[in-house]
Structure 1
Amino acid sequence: MNDVPAPPIRKIIHVDMDAFFASVEQHDFPELRGKPVAVGGASARGVVAAASYEARRFGVRSAMPSVTARRRCPDLIFVPPRFDRYREVSARIRAIFLEHTPLVEPLSLDEAYLDVTEDLKGIGIATRIAEEIRARIRAETGLTASAGVSYNKFLAKLASDQNKPDGLCVITPAKGPAFVASLPVARFHGVGPKTAEKMARLGIRTGADLKACSLAFLQQAFGSSGAYYHDLARGICHRQVRPDRERKSIGAEDTFMTDLSDEAALVAELDRIGRHVWKKIEERRIAGRTVTLKVKYRDFRIVTRARSFPRPVADADAFVGAGTAMLRALLPPPMGIRLLGLTLSNLGDAAAPPSELPLPI
């Protein structure tokens, strides 16, 4: 009987740009370099989309209300986002990745996984490939990137965060289990805040704690995710780099300068948001069957409503109409509304036949 050769150990790189949006602004506008910069709205209702490392030293973080950020860093400089520019730079970085491997899985504009087990340039050593990519990014964009190199996606992503900014970390198969054991489980991919809280109640705070739990115990406590956590504690991850990973949804939301209660004003704002989303949907030539409305009230309580259809939504009027119908069902609001959002999901090929949604629904 012939022995079946073991599959090759994968060579995975996770590249994560350093403070990407803010770094692009500092690169394009030299007067911002070395200063605390926040990309986002400076108004009372604004939110920080990204913060430079100078701002992070004051505790400024993405998704933080602008008023809080200003309180923490009085000298903070706010700049409006320029997403077209960020997409342009991201495309240049993606082109560098593709020179080394076709197996590139973007997670966002500023990070991606690369499987370089068989690299196109024949370099053969993942660490050297990561070093070359980082050097090319710096030379061609003026920006810095951090990278993690390991034998699976889980460890590569953890590694990229180890030596930020402008750092490189390599986790070999021999070092993987020990590296995982030393980390808090809250840093593990797939362990969100609620799961981390539940693990803490069970006495699981580090990878070592997680490894000490039996598979049966984890399956009883976490159901189908138990086996996944059991593997992570041992540095095992079977997720492959998927260059064709499908986008799950496309949408947008907006926070208003003042809370809104008037129906006409709310409908007008949702129409504006929805048509902005539909423009992106058309640009990407995709279609979807589920429309989701998001409403955030003055007290920050969030309500969502969704409607799915048997066939793809036909056009902008149908998309906005579906959202408007769900919004009107929530009116008059119990209190002022500070945010509205509209999303299309259940995505597929735009060539699929559209649904004919009657308006109103």
Structure 2
Amino acid sequence: MERAVVHLHVPDFCAVLEELRDPSRRRRPLAVADAGGRAVVLAANALARREGIREGMPWAVAVRRCRALQVVPPDRSFYRNVHETIVRDLMAFSPVVEAGALGRYFVDLSGTRRLWGPFTDTACRLEEEMLHRRRLPTRAGLASNKLVSQVAADCVDVGDVSRVFPGGERTFLQGLSVEALPGLGPKTADRLADVNIRRIGQLAALNPEDLVPVVGHHASRLVQLARGEDPSPVVPFEKDAALRLVHELARETIDWHEIDAVLLRLVEEAGWTLRRRNRLPGRLLLEVRYADGMEVQGTRHVRPEAQVLDRALFHAVRALARSVCQRRVALRRIAVTWSRFQLPVRQLALFPETGLSEAREQRIQHALDTVRSRYGHNALMWAVGYGAQK
């Protein structure tokens, strides 16, 4: 069966949504950015791009470059809701739809030819659906894998479809700049330029072993992508039940004592809710937003416990935070999401990971919950969480 993957891309997704909210914004250069001198531009409309405004540009630089620039604070929950709604719309054409970054979608059309007709016609129809139903201008790439379909979409204008037929992936990629490969950043591109590798075709012709001194252990994967080989499947979008807690810091901080205090307060609130609902989390997601607007995240598997113990969960969150927060930049926002819930099942741990006495921790946790149930959640707290910003 012939594999066909369509990549749909809505350029300037966040800026376009803000223009749809308020059509008057289309008449002026628009940038989406957080408030503050160290914030960066997250999205810009077409008029702003003509003035030289780009994503990642410092907010202060953008304002100086374009005096008429209107800056809108990002509404991330609104963007995420629209993003998920579009995924559900696309699932009418194929049950296998993957949601990438905001405004990017992969649709696996394999096996749908008898239902929808030729793949190219279906890609055009998907673009029309996005424009008429959501008023979102889209460009599309169609190929035999996710990598080539994404590169193909980025090579055409809005409203066009780029079709790369099976067997022509390497020929299509060879004349493009190495920066066209998804995930290849400017630092890696500079390293390749130092050894006079500027085109994907030059990269594809190399032996991976010869590239190891330049890019390290990523050499094999990089050469594979340059040859248009991408066996990764389209992963269907699934929205699981989750408990999400967000804390906006009253003042930006880089002090780990304050960060630990905030993390503990979030863990205590989550643990209280989970114990009341008799659920154990299996997965932890930590999202951090820096003062300049950059966001990073990390995930970790949570070992099932006989009960949800605050200190055991706190050790997991704190360890994940240490691995995620690598920049020497103050934090502005912290979000913790618990998912993959299951019912408690008593099972003795052969190798305890937390170093805590489970029986003792359960007694302490029960005593804390009893006091808090009667006198309020802030009646008792751990010393670590006392300094948390309100």
Q: Shorter-chain TM-score: what band?
A: 0.7 to 0.9
Aligned counterpart in structure 2 of residue 350 of structure 1, from 331, 341, 352: 341
- What is the deviation of 1:267? 6.6
- What is the deviation of 1:256? 7.1
Which residue identity lines up with residue 339 of structure 1 in the other structure?
L
CA distance in 2, matches of 1:23, 1:189: 23
Aligned counterpart in structure 1 of residue 105 of structure 2, from 99, 112, 119: 112
Corresponding position of 2:33: 40
- What is the deviation of 1:65? 2.6
Q: In the alignment, is residue 239 of structure 1 matched against residue 232 of structure 2? A: yes
Q: In the alignment, is residue 199 of structure 1 matched against residue 195 of structure 2? A: no
Corresponding position of 2:379: none
Corresponding position of 2:156: 163
Mean CA deviation greater in 89-98 or 310-319: 310-319
Aligned counterpart in structure 2 of residue 19 of structure 1, from 12, 35, 47: 12
CA distance in 2, matches of 1:241, 1:66: 36
Corresponding position of 1:98: 91
Which residue identity lines up with residue 37 of structure 2 in the other structure?
A
**Cα root mean square deviation, aligned:** 4.7
- What is the deviation of 1:42? 3.8
Mean CA deviation greater in 101-110 or 166-175: 166-175
CA distance in 1, matches of 2:188, 2:85: 37
Q: Secondary structure at the match of 2:90?
A: helix
Mean CA deviation greater in 210-219 or 10-19: 210-219
Q: Secondary structure at the match of 1:38?
A: strand
Are residues 44 and 271 of structure 1, via their aligned partners in 2, closer, same or farther at CA, if it must alter by over 3 Å? farther
Query: Looking at CA atoms only, which structure, 1 or 2, has the larger radius of gyration?
Result: 2
Which residue identity lines up with residue 17 of structure 1 in the other structure?
V
CA distance in 2, matches of 1:277, 1:79: 32
CA distance in 2, matches of 1:246, 1:191: 29
Mean CA deviation greater in 31-40 or 125-134: 31-40
Q: In the alignment, is residue 339 of structure 1 matched against residue 331 of structure 2? A: yes
Corresponding position of 2:55: 62
Q: In the alignment, is residue 124 of structure 1 matched against residue 117 of structure 2? A: yes
- Verify the 8 A CA contact 1:293 1:326 in the aligned structure 2: no
CA distance in 2, matches of 1:63, 1:252: 24
- What is the deviation of 1:47? 3.3
1:264-343 pair list within 5 angstroms:
287=281, 310-311=303-304, 314=308, 338-340=330-332, 342=334
Q: In the alignment, is residue 80 of structure 1 matched against residue 73 of structure 2? A: yes
Are residues 212 and 251 of structure 1, via their aligned partners in 2, closer, same or farther at CA, if it must alter by over 3 Å? farther
CA distance in 2, matches of 1:294, 1:88: 20
Given the two structures, how large is their TM-score scaled by the length of structure 1?
A: 0.73
- Verify the 8 A CA contact 1:270 1:341 in the aligned structure 2: no
Given the two structures, how large is their TM-score scaled by the length of structure 2?
A: 0.68
| Between structures 1 and 2, the one with greater strand share | 1
- Verify the 8 A CA contact 1:255 1:338 in the aligned structure 2: no
Which residue identity lines up with residue 103 of structure 2 in the other structure?
D
Which residue identity lines up with residue 36 of structure 1 in the other structure?
P
- What is the deviation of 1:84? 3.6
What are structure 1's unaligned runs of at least 5 residues?
1-7, 330-335
- Verify the 8 A CA contact 2:191 2:215 in the aligned structure 1: no
Corresponding position of 1:133: 126
* Identity value in percent: 26
- The superposition leaves residues 251-286 of structure 1 with CA deviations (integer Å, 9 ceiling, x where unpaired) of 97868766676966x6776678889999xx9xxx99
Number of equivalences: 338
- Verify the 8 A CA contact 1:39 1:50 in the aligned structure 2: yes
CA distance in 1, matches of 2:49, 2:329: 30
- What is the deviation of 1:199? 2.3
CA distance in 1, matches of 2:61, 2:280: 38
CA distance in 2, matches of 1:228, 1:86: 32
Corresponding position of 2:349: none
Are residues 22 and 314 of structure 1, via their aligned partners in 2, closer, same or farther at CA, if it must alter by over 3 Å? farther
CA distance in 2, matches of 1:122, 1:16: 24
- What is the deviation of 1:86? 2.3
CA distance in 1, matches of 2:183, 2:75: 31
Are residues 148 and 360 of structure 1, via their aligned partners in 2, closer, same or farther at CA, if it must alter by over 3 Å? farther
Q: Secondary structure at the match of 1:87?
A: helix
